[in-house]
């Protein structure tokens, strides 16, 4: 049933020999006949000085004219049949890995390769693949491996592996697959991996036009191809014959039977017809299969056979048809020549003369009748000079290459080989070839000269060639005969071996007498008469004699050698690519700049129409208009209601913005704009600042004007109307801003004396100032407007009292005139006026009488202020006694007179009292001594004591200020230190706190000591930071060195270091350090983890607070440090750019060694272009994208850009996710080594994701807002529910997102509520778009039900809680600007702890608040007031420093200054701010302050200083602490945080 009865021979030559399975298999070693002779005995080939230059040897020994016929009349067909048999048996042309080169240095002036006499032409020669188990040590020198099966098994026809033969088969009818023309096999297209080098003549590349054969290099010449085609057709012939005979057989049976038969025929012809024609002796008779005979191919056989065939190759080949007509051949340039020139048809694709099957037949017939070249030492130039070149050169010297291949193989010398093979030794150069020495002795002498007469050095190849004359020399013939005999006897599948069951005896006999002629006749269907019986010889009388022995004349010249440059034409493109890579940062810089501009524009637009957006839909009733408030101010939409005698201006939320009084005597004038669509209206009303209204249409304005006229007539006002152009109208209008600015300058002028500034620089009053100032002063302000201009809340105490005092006309409006009068009175009024004023101030209910308790309260506040040593009870007694003495004890109310009388008579008891107006009774002596420095310059001493009203001097009513005050500050009542001591007797129990002047002399130490001290201090302060940085960079550096070492020394077997040593070390080293840096950068951003770890002992070693700075530092070193010299990714990319350049100029054979998975060497030699590396490989493309992303992230994360558009930074920063994804993909391709990034990345990524999950679980919980309050100057106070289980310390901050403003945008704010409170509170200043919109959303609508407030998301708490303050007995909190917010919560927490009297180690807290103006921090004043109220143990003493220059005082600061200086505290509260703490004007003297602290608390060893605010301030505090610590008394440990 199964017709395949024999064991089918394997395609890869395995399992032929029962004992040695590997013999003759594909990839097995060549077995040497003679021991190897390498330079180092192991693998280094012998070289130049020892052996002659190969090209010189080839020029001397093998050069000669073509055209000498073979002495034995061998035909060219025999030569190419020999080549075909050789390609079946052995192939060592595959280049070895790692790539090693032996170079042929062309002697200068070589006619073919060095025509321009440059003398430095080098033909590269690559060593072949060798068995890695050999070549490591002397006893087992390097052996090359055979790429094809070593058996004579038709591997040139069917391929040397089963999968290769599957590709050749058609799987139908047992035939081999054919292309469109059945006579030709299929094309050599992929996936079949035929050898496809570029055509040396035309330079054409690619597999098209080449056929698929069993032998990889079957397409080398058309003549070798012809033989391949012959056997291809012969197989298909047999398949068809068998199919006809056995129709039942399937494809497999047909194929195997045909194959068996073809192989047998091939073996027979090769052994019994071709070999004898060469050696001219018959091999011994077949004596049966000898299983113990090693049939392996020997390197000597390879060299010998290859060499011998090359001498017989003719310069050209005839083509003839069956009737002996030798046809002409059409050349490339369409000229006709006698024969096909060999050198122009190597690797030719779609040769014009070999298109049809008949052409191939003609070629075969031509070869059969053409006599080959003489078998001598001469080789034609087609082979010797124009052989297809393997690397970079289109042509090479075949002989020189074979010589080098011999040296690569380590072939023995000629004499040693003869000795080993038992041939008689040769002692003299002439004995090599006596016939040659007779006919042409010069060749032998020249060769001897090259080997400097040392016969023992003569190599096997030249020796073998020189010895051959007409027949292969004795050495070559013994080697060849021995090899073929071993191949026959050692081959279990030899056709004559009847034991393998292949053939019957009859078949064997039949095969034995089939000759090549029979095959030719069967295949070409030409009658047998056209061919001589033995086609390997052409004897006289055989059919179709050749026209003449071919020589190079009459044949086209060979195409000259050209040098192939792989990088040709891509130099410019490469430069452009690098250019684009370099200007990625520029591109992102540009886009950053554009985004910044966009943001700035829409921020302005946003602030402009912020009121409009909310307002416009709610206006109803009244006349809609837009009030213009000034050129720089935004216009706000208003609703104008006209009531009799009043004009009400209401905004969208119906809260009254402004009411204008229309009282008869005023002269109103109405100005209308005459251009721009006539839609502007200016109403000038005395005592009010002007009202400018803009309407959408002129009609609306007309309606307004009519109603205005009606209202004015009703209230009996006469008014004039005229028209102005709109611009002039705008300029004429005096808006509120202008007015308040005017007032400020006016006040400064007025009080320049008091403010210690000379009038000139108090701000320039506009020219027509007098008239405008008059108007400004008379302008009436409602309570709200008055408060707003002073930056106070309407219900503020100062506003109340001022209104009660100043509003003479009681119309609920206060004009600045009235306000000014009071001030003047206070400043300069007589005591009576003062007491009357004070009386009226305490007459809250304004009935001209003070009730008893009001009076008691006033008295108590006096006594309290002056000397609170009196307890409450003593105080009450004093008051009672006063009442008794003045006989008023039964009077319930006191008139002013009683009030005045009482004060004057009892001043002795009220010794400590002082009129609530300070600046009245400063003891003369004190004032002279005090030195006063104005703000501007410390040195300028102003001798003149300040003008102050003289009250009869009360004796020694020293008012002792408990709070430390700036000495220089001319606070009249603070006698300097010495004075106090003298008066000290009555010193109260409290340790006075006044400071002494900081002594100057101890300060000038030697410069060097100072710097050392400075450095020691620096190291001591940043010990932890330096430690961490050192560890981090040590690891990164270590990784770099490890990779650098590996690729410099250890990775030699990969060979990559030979191609690009520096590039690969640099890139892989930086790659490792990048992987580490980019992975562990995430740890710096695990906020919750950091907040948690801060509390543990780790905080002593790792500075967690500097996480963000550390993050920035890592990022900059990992991406592009300012000086990019040592930033890793730029270095890495540069390294790889160098690699890419080197890879794109190294040949494919080298690349296939470096990247075995990626490249297969199919001879096409050209490497991939640079853009393939950059854009068509996974690492390349992702690398370029990584560069782009990093450029963007780096630019958008720069400090400047973060400030101007944080949102932009935040969005681009989230590209880090994409960055990590790309990084993983980047290394995933395992181009050079296995990916390692994910190993580094896994741990930190998990921790980071965990941290994010912790936040996520917390920050997506909706929290409702309990209270939202709009505080003056853009601050919003938010109070919201405290989520359960939310524990935090004072000073920590949270990140909130408002649902109405996008659930993903979180912003950090410090908690100003104390940890014990049940709600959390934030004070948010409208700084940018987000905070401004937040303020609008939470502005209280009229029906302010808090339910309507949008909810919040909360994430936190984060950051370092200023918890250490309670570790110090005395601590100083310094808050600057917004940095004061953390302290708000600390103060509240502290006061709560002390009030609930839980044991607090801290005895005294000094809170210093430094701010340019209180303008944005009024809310803090409320907090301080609250702290002062419930601070019973007087734990906290607060100092406020206004650092604004006097000349720049705004109205509020001016008032603050005046009150502080001139108004005694009412109820121990500053009249203006209502704070007990004192406000100073100027920069806080930290050194002096710390110095005095040491004196005040001598027993305290360590004082904690906590500063938070702008870097400038914290640096001053730091410097001050260092200065004091240098004196090594109490140690000031300073902790700071910058906002």
Partner 1 sequence: RLFWMLRVVTSLFIGAVILAVNFSSEWSVGQVSTNTSYKAFSSQWISANVGLQIGLGGVNITLTGTPVQQLNETIDYNEEFTWRLGENYAEEYANALEKGLPDPVLYLAEKFTPHSPCGLHGQYRLAGHYTSAMLWVAFLCWLLANVMLSMPVLVYGGHMLLATGLFQLLGLLFFSTATSLTPPCPLRLGAATLHTHRGPAYWITLTTAISYVSSGVSCPPPRAS
Ligand X SMILES: Cc1cc2nc3c(=O)[nH]c(=O)nc-3n(C[C@H](O)[C@H](O)[C@H](O)COP(=O)(O)OP(=O)(O)OC[C@H]3O[C@@H](n4cnc5c(N)ncnc54)[C@H](O)[C@@H]3O)c2cc1C
- The residues, any chain, with a CB within 8 Å of residue 205's CB and separated by 6 or more, are 196, 198, 199, 1164, 1166
Q: Buried b / exposed e across 257-279, counting CB within 10 Å, b at 16+? A: bbbbbbbbbbbbbbbbbbbebbb
For residues 465 and 307, the answer to whether their CB atoms sit within 8 Å is yes
Tokens of 456: 């023992």
Binding segment for ligand X (CB under 6 A), chosen from 206-214, 627-635, 722-730, 1302-1310, is: 1302-1310
- The residues, any chain, with a CB within 8 Å of residue 190's CB and separated by 6 or more, are 207
- Residues between 1091 and 1150 that touch ligand HEM (CB under 6 A): 1108, 1111-1112, 1115-1116, 1119, 1129, 1132-1133, 1136
Which residue number has the CB closest to ligand X? 1328
Considering only 49, 180, 191, 1285, the residue that binds partner 1 (CB under 8 A) is 191
Tokens of 374: 């003489």
Minimal distance in Å, beta carbon 1209 to ligand X? Answer: 7
Backbone angles phi, psi at 411, to 5 degrees: -65, 150
For residue 1055, the tally of other CB atoms under 10 A from its CB is: 16
Name beta bridge partners: 178: 185
Nearer to ligand HEM, 464 or 1180 (CB): 1180
Q: Is 554 left (phi over 0), alpha (psi -120 to 50) or beta?
A: left
- The residues, any chain, with a CB within 8 Å of residue 204's CB and separated by 6 or more, are 198, 349
Binding mask 1367-1396 for ligand X (x = CB under 6 A): -----------x--x---------------
Considering only 326, 1293, 1365, 1481, the residue that binds ligand X (CB under 6 A) is 1293
Q: Is 164 in the site for partner 1 (CB under 8 A)?
A: yes
Considering only 984, 1031, 1327, 1511, the residue that binds ligand X (CB under 6 A) is 1327
Binding mask 1219-1258 for ligand HEM (x = CB under 6 A): x---x--xx-xxxxx-xxx---------------------
Considering only 20, 93, 110, 251, the residue that binds partner 1 (CB under 8 A) is 251
- Partner from ligand X, ligand HEM, partner 1, none binding residue 18, C-beta < 5-8 Å depending on class: partner 1
Nearer to partner 1, 4 or 1098 (CB): 4
Tokens of 355: 């298109």
Residue length of the chain? 1539
- The residues, any chain, with a CB within 8 Å of residue 1363's CB and separated by 6 or more, are 1289, 1290, 1291
- Partner from partner 1, ligand X, ligand HEM, none binding residue 1098, C-beta < 5-8 Å depending on class: none
For residues 899 and 850, the answer to whether their CB atoms sit within 8 Å is yes
Closest listed residue to residue 685, CA positions, set 706, 705, 707, 664: 664
Considering only 156, 192, 313, 1131, the residue that binds partner 1 (CB under 8 A) is 192
- Partner from ligand X, partner 1, ligand HEM, none binding residue 1108, C-beta < 5-8 Å depending on class: ligand HEM
Nearer to ligand HEM, 612 or 1198 (CB): 1198
- Tokens 């906590």 sit on residue: 1506
Nearer to partner 1, 325 or 1160 (CB): 1160
Nearer to ligand HEM, 53 or 580 (CB): 580
- Tokens 């004023």 sit on residue: 837
Say how far apart CA 347 and CA 1164 lie, in whole Å: 11
Binding mask 1052-1091 for ligand HEM (x = CB under 6 A): -------------------x--xx--x--xx--x------
Nearer to partner 1, 5 or 1345 (CB): 5
For residue 1486, the tally of other CB atoms under 10 A from its CB is: 24
Tally the C-alpha atoms within 13 A of residue 293's C-alpha that lie toward its C-beta.
18
Say how far apart CA 800 and CA 792 lie, in whole Å: 11
Say how far apart CA 163 and CA 1533 lie, in whole Å: 81
Nearer to partner 1, 126 or 447 (CB): 126
Beta strand 1404-1411 with 1370-1376: parallel, antiparallel or unpaired?
Answer: parallel
Say how far apart CA 817 and CA 773 lie, in whole Å: 10
For residues 202 and 333, the answer to whether their CB atoms sit within 8 Å is no
For residues 1063 and 1142, the answer to whether their CB atoms sit within 8 Å is yes
Q: Is 1216 in the site for ligand HEM (CB under 6 A)?
A: yes
Nearer to ligand HEM, 912 or 1174 (CB): 1174
Minimal distance in Å, beta carbon 1202 to partner 1? Answer: 25
The verdict on whether omega for the bond into residue 98 sits within 30 degrees of 0, i.e. cis, is yes
Binding segment for partner 1 (CB under 8 A), chosen from 160-168, 233-241, 1121-1129, 1505-1513, is: 160-168
DSSP code for 764:
P
Say how far apart CA 1224 and CA 1241 lie, in whole Å: 9
Binding segment for ligand HEM (CB under 6 A), chosen from 816-824, 971-979, 1180-1188, 1425-1433, is: 1180-1188
Nearer to ligand X, 154 or 1377 (CB): 1377
Minimal distance in Å, beta carbon 1372 to ligand X? Answer: 21
For residues 450 and 64, the answer to whether their CB atoms sit within 8 Å is no
Nearer to partner 1, 654 or 1245 (CB): 1245
Minimal distance in Å, beta carbon 1273 to ligand X? Answer: 12
Can you give the three-state secondary structure of 1276-1301, one letter per residue? EEEEEECCCCCCCCCCCEEEEEEHHH
Tally the C-alpha atoms within 13 A of residue 611's C-alpha that lie toward its C-beta.
16
Nearer to partner 1, 931 or 1214 (CB): 1214
Question: How many angstroms separate the Cα of 947 from the Cα of each of 488, 918, 1151?
Answer: 134, 12, 95
Say how far apart CA 487 and CA 295 lie, in whole Å: 5
Binding segment for ligand X (CB under 6 A), chosen from 68-76, 1185-1193, 1198-1206, 1501-1509, is: 1198-1206
- Partner from ligand HEM, partner 1, ligand X, none binding residue 1309, C-beta < 5-8 Å depending on class: ligand X
- Partner from ligand HEM, ligand X, partner 1, none binding residue 1179, C-beta < 5-8 Å depending on class: ligand HEM
- The residues, any chain, with a CB within 8 Å of residue 264's CB and separated by 6 or more, are 495, 502, 503, 507, 508, 511
- Partner from ligand X, partner 1, ligand HEM, none binding residue 1329, C-beta < 5-8 Å depending on class: ligand X
Nearer to partner 1, 129 or 1362 (CB): 129
For residues 503 and 328, the answer to whether their CB atoms sit within 8 Å is no
Considering only 218, 1163, 1167, 1328, the residue that binds ligand X (CB under 6 A) is 1328
Q: Is 1417 in the site for ligand X (CB under 6 A)?
A: no
Say how many residues touch ligand HEM, by CB under 6 A. Answer: 42
- Partner from ligand X, partner 1, ligand HEM, none binding residue 1237, C-beta < 5-8 Å depending on class: ligand HEM
Q: Is 20 in the site for partner 1 (CB under 8 A)?
A: no
Say how far apart CA 1095 and CA 1361 lie, in whole Å: 9
Q: Is 247 in the site for partner 1 (CB under 8 A)?
A: no
Say how far apart CA 784 and CA 1193 lie, in whole Å: 48
3-state secondary structure of 1307: strand
- Residues between 555 and 614 that touch ligand HEM (CB under 6 A): 581
Site for ligand HEM, rule CB under 6 A: 581, 1071, 1074-1075, 1078, 1081-1082, 1085, 1108, 1111-1112, 1115-1116, 1119, 1129, 1132-1133, 1136, 1179-1180, 1183-1184, 1186-1187, 1190, 1193-1194, 1197, 1213, 1216, 1219, 1223, 1226-1227, 1229-1233, 1235-1237
Residues that bind partner 1 (CB under 8 A): 2, 4-8, 10, 12, 14-15, 18, 21-22, 161-164, 166-167, 169, 171, 190-193, 250-252, 501, 1156-1157, 1160, 1228, 1230, 1234, 1249, 1253, 1256-1257, 1260-1261, 1299, 1302-1304
Which parts of this chain interact with ligand X (CB under 6 A)? 1202-1203, 1206-1207, 1293, 1307-1310, 1323-1325, 1327-1331, 1359, 1378, 1381, 1539
């Amino acid at each position: 049933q199964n017709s395949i009865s024999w064991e089918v021979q394997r395609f890869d030559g395995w399992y032929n020999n029962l004992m040695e399975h590997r013999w003759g298999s594909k990839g097995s070693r060549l077995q040497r006949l003679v021991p190897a002779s390498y330079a180092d005995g192991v693998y280094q080939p012998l070289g130049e000085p020892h052996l002659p230059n190969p090209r010189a040897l080839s020029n001397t020994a093998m050069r000669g004219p073509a055209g000498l016929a073979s002495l034995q009349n061998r035909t060219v067909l025999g030569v190419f049949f020999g080549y075909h048999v050789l390609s079946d048996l052995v192939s060592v042309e595959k280049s070895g890995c790692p790539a090693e080169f032996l170079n042929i240095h062309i002697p200068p002036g070589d006619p073919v390769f060095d025509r321009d006499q440059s003398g430095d032409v080098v033909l590269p020669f690559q060593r072949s693949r060798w068995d890695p188990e050999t070549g490591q040590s002397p006893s087992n020198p390097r052996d090359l491996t055979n790429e094809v099966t070593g058996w004579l098994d038709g591997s040139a026809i069917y391929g040397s592996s089963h999968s290769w033969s599957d590709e050749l088969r058609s799987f139908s009818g047992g035939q081999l697959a054919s292309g469109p023309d059945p006579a030709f096999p299929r094309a050599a297209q992929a996936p079949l991996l035929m050898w496809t080098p570029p055509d040396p003549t035309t330079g054409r590349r690619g597999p098209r036009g080449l056929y698929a054969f069993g032998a990889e290099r079957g397409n080398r010449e058309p003549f070798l191809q012809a033989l391949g085609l012959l056997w291809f057709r012969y197989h298909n012939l047999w398949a068809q014959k068998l199919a006809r005979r056995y129709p039942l057989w399937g494809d497999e049976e047909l194929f195997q039977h045909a194959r068996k038969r073809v192989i047998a025929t091939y073996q027979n012809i090769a052994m019994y017809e071709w070999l004898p024609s060469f050696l001219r002796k018959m091999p011994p008779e077949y004596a049966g299969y000898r299983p113990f005979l090693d049939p392996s191919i020997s390197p000597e056989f390879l060299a010998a056979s290859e060499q011998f065939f090359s001498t017989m190759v003719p310069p050209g080949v005839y083509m003839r048809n069956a009737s002996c007509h030798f046809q002409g051949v059409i050349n490339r340039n369409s000229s006709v020549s006698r024969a096909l020139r060999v050198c122009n048809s190597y690797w030719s694709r779609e040769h014009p003369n070999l298109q049809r099957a008949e052409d191939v037949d003609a070629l075969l017939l031509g070869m059969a009748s053409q006599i080959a070249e003489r078998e001598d030492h001469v080789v034609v130039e087609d082979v010797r000079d124009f052989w297809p070149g393997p690397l970079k050169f289109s042509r090479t010297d075949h002989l020189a290459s074979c010589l080098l291949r011999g040296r690569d193989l380590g072939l023995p010398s000629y004499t040693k080989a003869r000795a080993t093979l038992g041939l008689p030794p040769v002692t003299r150069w002439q004995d090599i070839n006596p016939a040659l020495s007779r006919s042409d002795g010069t060749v032998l002498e020249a060769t001897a000269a090259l080997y400097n007469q040392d016969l023992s050095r003569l190599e096997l190849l030249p020796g073998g060639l020189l010895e051959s004359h007409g027949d292969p020399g004795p050495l070559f013939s013994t080697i060849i005969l021995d090899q073929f005999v071993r191949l026959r006897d050692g081959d279990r599948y030899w056709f004559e071996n009847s034991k393998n069951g292949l053939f019957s005896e009859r078949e064997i006999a039949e095969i034995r007498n089939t000759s090549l002629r029979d095959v030719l006749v069967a295949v070409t269907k030409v009658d047998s008469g056209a061919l001589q019986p033995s086609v390997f010889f052409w004897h006289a009388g055989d059919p179709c004699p050749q026209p003449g022995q071919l020589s190079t004349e009459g044949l086209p010249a060979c195409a000259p050698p050209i040098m192939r440059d792989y990088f040709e034409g891509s130099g410019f493109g490469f430069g452009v690519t690098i250019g684009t890579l370099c200007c990625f940062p520029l591109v992102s810089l540009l886009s950053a700049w554009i985004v910044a501009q966009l943001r700035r524009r829409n921020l302005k637009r946003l602030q402009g129409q912020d009121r409009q957006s909310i307002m416009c839909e709610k206006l109803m009733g009244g006349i809609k208009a837009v009030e213009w408030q000034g050129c720089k101010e935004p216009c706000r939409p208003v609703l104008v209601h006209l009531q009799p005698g009043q004009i009400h201006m209401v905004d969208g939320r119906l809260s009254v913005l402004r009411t204008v009084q229309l009282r008869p005597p005023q002269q109103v004038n109405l100005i209308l704009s005459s251009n721009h669509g006539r839609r502007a209206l200016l109403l000038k009303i005395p005592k009010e600042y002007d009202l400018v209204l803009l309407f959408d249409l002129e009609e609306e304005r007309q309606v307004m004007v009519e109603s205005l006229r009606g209202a004015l007539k009703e209230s009996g006002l006469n008014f004039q109307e005229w028209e102005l152009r709109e611009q002039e109208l705008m300029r004429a209008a005096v808006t509120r801003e202008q007015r308040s600015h005017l007032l400020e300058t006016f006040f400064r002028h007025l009080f320049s004396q008091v403010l210690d500034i000379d009038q000139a620089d108090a701000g320039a009053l506009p020219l027509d100032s007098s008239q405008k100032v008059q108007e400004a002063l008379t302008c009436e302000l409602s309570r709200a407007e008055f408060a707003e201009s002073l930056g106070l809340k309407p219900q503020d105490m100062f506003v109340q009292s001022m209104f009660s005092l100043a509003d003479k006309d009681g119309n609920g409006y206060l004009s600045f005139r009235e306000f000014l009068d009071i001030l003047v009175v206070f400043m300069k009024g007589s005591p009576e006026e003062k007491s009357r004023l004070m009386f009226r101030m305490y007459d809250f209910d304004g009935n001209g009488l003070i009730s008893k308790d009001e009076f008691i309260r006033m008295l108590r506040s006096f006594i309290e202020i002056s000397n609170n040593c009196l307890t409450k009870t003593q105080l009450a007694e004093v008051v009672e006694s006063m009442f008794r003495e003045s006989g008023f004890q039964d009077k319930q109310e006191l008139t002013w007179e009683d009030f005045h009388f009482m004060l004057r008579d009892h001043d002795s008891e009220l010794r400590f009292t002082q009129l609530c107006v300070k600046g009245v009774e400063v003891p003369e002596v004190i004032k002279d001594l005090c030195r006063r420095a104005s703000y501007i310059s410390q040195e300028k001493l102003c001798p003149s004591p300040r003008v102050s009203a003289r009250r009869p001097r009360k004796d020694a009513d020293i008012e002792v200020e408990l709070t430390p005050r700036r000495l220089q500050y001319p606070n009249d009542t603070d006698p300097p230190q010495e004075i106090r001591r003298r008066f000290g007797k009555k010193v109260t129990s409290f340790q006075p706190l006044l400071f002494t002047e900081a002594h100057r002399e101890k300060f000038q130490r030697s410069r060097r000591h100072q710097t050392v001290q400075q450095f020691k201090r620096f190291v001591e302060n940043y010990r932890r930071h330096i430690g961490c940085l050192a560890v981090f960079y040590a690891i990164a550096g270590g990784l770099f060195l490890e990779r650098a070492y590996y690729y410099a020394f250890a990775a030699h077997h990969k060979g990559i270091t030979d191609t690009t040593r520096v590039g690969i070390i640099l890139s892989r080293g930086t790659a490792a350090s990048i992987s580490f840096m980019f992975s562990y950068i995430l740890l710096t951003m695990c906020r919750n983890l950091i907040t948690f770890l801060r509390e543990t002992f780790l905080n002593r070693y790792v500075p967690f607070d500097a996480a963000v700075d550390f993050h920035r530092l890592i990022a900059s070193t990992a991406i592009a440090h300012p000086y990019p010299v040592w930033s890793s990714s730029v270095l890495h990319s540069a390294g790889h750019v160098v690699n890419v350049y080197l890879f794109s100029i190294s040949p494919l054979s080298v690349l296939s060694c470096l990247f075995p998975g990626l490249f297969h060497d199919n001879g096409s030699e050209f490497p991939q272009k640079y853009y393939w590396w950059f854009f068509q490989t996974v690492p390349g493309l992702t690398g370029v994208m990584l560069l782009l992303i990093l450029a963007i992230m780096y630019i958008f994360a720069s400090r400047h850009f973060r400030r101007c558009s944080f949102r932009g930074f935040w969005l681009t920063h989230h590209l880090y996710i994409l960055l990590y994804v790309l990084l993983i993909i980047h290394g995933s391709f395992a181009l050079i080594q296995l990916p390692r990034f994910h190993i580094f990345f896994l741990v930190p990524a998990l921790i980071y994701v965990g941290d994010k999950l912790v936040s996520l679980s917390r920050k997506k919980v909706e929290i409702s807002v309990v209270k939202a309050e709009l505080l003056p100057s853009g601050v919003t106070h938010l109070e919201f529910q405290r989520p359960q289980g939310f524990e935090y310390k004072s000073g920590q901050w949270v990140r909130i997102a408002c649902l109405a403003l996008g659930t993903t945008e979180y912003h950090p704010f410090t908690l100003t509520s104390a940890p014990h409170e049940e709600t959390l509170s934030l004070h948010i200043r409208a700084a940018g778009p987000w905070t401004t919109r937040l303020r609008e959303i939470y502005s209280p609508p009229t029906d302010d039900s808090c339910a309507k407030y949008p909810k919040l998301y909360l994430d936190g708490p984060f950051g370092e809680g200023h918890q250490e303050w309670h570790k110090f007995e005395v601590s100083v909190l310094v808050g600057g600007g917004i940095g004061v917010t953390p302290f708000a919560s600390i103060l509240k927490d502290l006061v709560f702890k002390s009030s609930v009297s839980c044991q607090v180690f801290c005895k005294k807290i000094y809170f210093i608040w430094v701010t340019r103006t209180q303008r944005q921090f009024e809310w803090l004043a409320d907090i301080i007031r609250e702290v002062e109220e419930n601070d019973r143990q007087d734990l906290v003493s607060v100092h406020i420093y206004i650092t604004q220059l006097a000349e720049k005082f705004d109205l509020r600061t001016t008032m603050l200054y005046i009150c502080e200086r001139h108004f005694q505290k009412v109820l121990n509260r500053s009249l203006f701010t209502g704070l007990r703490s004192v406000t100073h004007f100027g920069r806080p003297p930290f050194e002096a302050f710390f110095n005095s602290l040491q004196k005040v608390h001598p027993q305290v060893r360590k004082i904690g200083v906590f500063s938070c605010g702008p870097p400038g301030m914290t640096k001053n505090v730091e410097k001050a602490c260092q200065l004091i610590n240098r004196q090594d008394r109490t140690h000031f440990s300073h902790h700071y945080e910058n906002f």
